[in-house]
Every structure is written in C-alpha cells, then in structure tokens.
Amino acid sequence: MSQKELIMPKLGESIMEATILKWLKKEGDKVELDEAVLEIATDKVDSEVPTPFAGTITKILFKEGDVVQIGKAIAIIDGEGGSSVQPVVEKVVPQEVKTEAPKQVVVEKAPETTFVAGGDRFYSPLVLNIAREEGISMSELERIPGTGKDDRVTKSDILAYLQNRGAVTTQAKVETPQVQAPVVEKVTPVVQTASVSGGNEIVEMDRMRKLIADHMVMSKKTSPHVTSYVEVDMTPIVEWRNRIKPKFEKREGQKITFTPIFIEAIAKAIKDFPGINISVDGYNIINKKDINIGMAAALPTGNLIVPVIKNADRMNLVGLTAAVNDFANRARNNKLKPDEIQDGTFTLTNVGSFGSLMGTPIINQPQVAILAVGAIKKKPVVLETEFGDVIAIRHMMFMSMSYDHRVVDGMLGGSFLKRVADYLEGFDTEREI
C-alpha cells in the first residue's frame, strides 16, 4: 500500500479555487475507483469529485466550507498501487501553480467571509451570487427554507422565494439595520450600492465577474488580437433545417439548431488548417491532436460558461446535436461537471443569439482563436447566374474570428475563416440525418 494525494481537480481555464460543500466519505472509509468522495462548488459549477484510485481515506486535509486552491491536496488515501493518480497530479499542478499566487489576491477573501452565514448552514457560490444580484441580505437568506442536503438552499429554493418575496423583502430591509447589523456590515460591499454625486452608484463586482474580468484582461495582455470577417450565405442550411426539423424532432425527441452545423464545419476546417488548433507556452507552440470545440452557453446568473465537446471531429451531426442540447440544458440548470468545461482547443460563440450582426470576441486562453457567428438576416444579394447577375433575397450571416497574431498570421486566420464559410455554403441539402 502506498499513500497518494487526492488533488482538487482543474475546473476550467479561469477557475482557481473551489469550496468544499460536503464530504461524502470520512477518514477510515474505503473508496473504489471513480467513486465520489466530496461535493464542491464554484461560481460556475456544483459537482462531485471522484477519486482516481481505490484505497482507504487516512486523512482529510480540509473541512466543509473551506475554500481550496486548484492543485492542492485535499485528502490522503492509502492506495493499492497503480499509476493512475500521477497523470492527474501532473496535469493539474504545474499549470495552475503558475497563476495561483496573483489570482489569490483577487478572489480569495469573498468566499471565506460570506460562505457560512451563522451556524453550520452553507450556501453555494451560485446561490450567493443570486442573493447579491437581488439585494437579499444574509439575514434574509437564512430565513429561506432549504430543500437540499442538510437544509441547503438550492437555486430553485431562492428563485421560488424571489417570486413571492413582496412584502417580506420590504420588512427585511427595515429590520436588517436594527437587528442584524453585524451581518449586514459583512456583506455590504457586495450587496449594497454606494451613491455618489449626480445620482451615480458604485457597485462592487461579484466574485465571478472579478474572475471573468481578470481572465479577459489577461487574454488581451497575452495575445495581440486580430479579427477577420466573412459573410456567409446560409440560405441552403436554413431551408434544409426547416425541411428536416419536424421529422428530426419526432424521431430524436429534440430540436436541431444551427450550432451543431457550425461546430461540424469548424471541425472540418481545423483538419484542413491544424495551425489553428494550438496553444502557446512562451516561445513554444503546442500542437493539439484532439479537436475539442468549446461553445459559449448562458448561465442562470447571466454569466457565460464554455462547455467543451471533446473530439468533435469524430461525431456525426446527430451526435453533435445531442451534445449541444445536453450541454445547453445542463448549463441552464447548473449541472455541468468540472471536466466538461476544460481542455478546449477552439471556441465558438453565438453573438447572433443576442441580436448582434457581428462581434470581436476575446480569445479564451490558452487557445489562439475564437469564432463568433452573428444573427441570420434576410437581405437582398447580387447573385451570378448563367443568365447574368440577379438580385435575390437570401439568408445572410456574418462570421468573425479573433486570433493570436503571435502565432496565427493573416493568411492562416483568413484562410481558415473562409474555409468554414465554404463548408457552410457547400452544405449538402440532400443530406438525411
């Protein structure tokens, strides 16, 4: 038997820490391979952490409610040999240790001071974010009945409470300064607004917004961004989708959107131009063998998360559709797992879903490119025919791609983007799925 460390796993490119919600095992318990050991929470995901090896838990290093940095050991397990743990440690620790120190200054304090509210009741970062956005004080939050484990307040609980808040909220706001002064003082920086001259207000960012802000600033500082644009005639795809949609929904029990079609075209283009599927480490270029496409999805809080479709090039359109719908649904319900939001090699974002014609997206580090699709709009277009030029109404869409000019030149970036457009415009309209 040999002692092995259970490591807090990597949870995504911008996540540097996680909060331990509940230990599912105690010291002395035996665990099997891939058995869940504890529940953790971040601003993006609540999930269980499995053990990568079997054995007996001899030491638990952190208690429930503790905020733990990614890559730190959280428990000691007496295992029965094997090397399965080594890749986990090597994959997580080196990358995250580099950025652990500077990130810690920004994000460490908020969870430690606000996670536990009186007694032993815990609140996930998602619930705390909703409370902050809706102006719910900690004393008011403690009065909300919880239906989760150990009376934990779930997302459904707080949303149901908000629907019937009404007079309760008003009463709570009146009582809070008199009865719960210490608690209000603790959360004032994130819940309350400070009025300044001219009617302006200053509102401190919540923890997740701070993480996003740091990641965006870091990306712009790291990569010299260049953006290229193309316009795509989506008419064949629009007409094909309208024709195939009823039969597909009846057979598969789910809708087919444009997103899996975009991902299919991107995966094909990456095979043609593998120089897009890389990352940079100093002056070294890392060529990625797998094609893992990230798709930006909206969270209930209004923030975005990027679940990753692994080996997208090996999936047919039916498989891509199932994966896209599954990720989108579970993102809305905060059910994504940590390993489902990491290891992306290229990212797709749909700015058209917000009504935008085009955008200039910021690269999702450590990737070197991100593609944005705009809204599909009908417009008059000049078409070349054997009888001369004609004007026709077509379904048109702009695509834009931002890329890292350190390693992706204009020829590569422009050629790749044009190839994606060519695959979309050359879509086989006789295709059956």
Greatest CA span in the chain, whole angstroms? Answer: 82
Q: If you search the block for the tokens 């038997």, which residue do you land on? A: 1
Alpha-carbon radius of gyration of the chain: 25
Whole-number Å distance between alpha carbons of 430 and 237: 11
Q: Which residues contact 90 (CB under 8 A, 6 or more apart)?
A: none
Contact between 339 and 317 under an 8 Å Cβ cutoff? The reply is no
Instruction: Please confirm, yes or no, whether 225 is among the known catalytic residues.
Output: no
How do strand 293-295 and strand 346-350 relate by DSSP bridges?
parallel
How big is the CA angle at 302 (ends 300 and 303), to the nearest 5 degrees? 105
Cα 174 to Cα 132, 135, 160, 179, 181, distances in angstroms: 17, 13, 22, 9, 11
Instruction: Please confirm, yes or no, whether 409 is among the known catalytic residues.
Output: yes
Count how many residues are written for the chain. 433
333: helix, coil or strand? coil
Strand partners, 165: none
Number of neighbours of residue 308 by Cβ within 10 angstroms: 22
Long-range contacts of 109-116 (CB under 8 A, 24+ apart): 110/190, 110/206, 110/207, 111/17, 111/19, 111/67, 111/207, 112/67, 113/186, 114/138, 114/186, 114/187, 114/190, 115/19, 115/65, 115/67, 116/65
Whole-number Å distance between alpha carbons of 203 and 191: 8
Cα 136 to Cα 98, 240, 380, distances in angstroms: 36, 48, 51
Q: Does an H or E element contain 172, and which?
A: helix 166-179
Strand partners, 125: none
Structure tokens at 9: 């796993």
User: Annotated catalytic residue: which of 120, 150, 272, 409?
Assistant: 409
User: Annotated catalytic residue: which of 339, 405, 422, 428?
Assistant: 405
Q: Which residues are catalytic?
A: 405, 409
